Amino acid sequence: MPGLPRDLASHQIEDGHLPSILVIKSKNYGGCLFAFSVRIKIPRKDRLIDSIENRVRRLEDERAIQRVICNYCFAVDNKRQELWADVFTEDAVLMFKAEPGIIPADSAIGKMIERPIIGRRQLAEWLARLPQFPGPPMKHAAVNTIITLRGDEATADSNLVHFMDREGTPVLLSTGRNGDKFRRCADGQWRIAERIAHMDSMRQGPS
Fold observed for domain 58-202: Nuclear Transport Factor 2; Chain: A, (3.10.450)
Confidence of residue 57 (pLDDT cuts 50, 70, 90): very high
Chain segment 86-117, per-residue pLDDT in tens: 999 999 999 999 888 777 777 767 777 778 99
Q: Does the predicted TM-score (pTM) go above 0.85?
A: no
Would you kindly state where each structural domain of the chain is located, as residue ranges? Answer: 12-41, 58-202
Cα–Cα distance between 128 and 36 in angstroms, integer? 73
Cα–Cα distance between 145 and 178 in angstroms, integer? 9
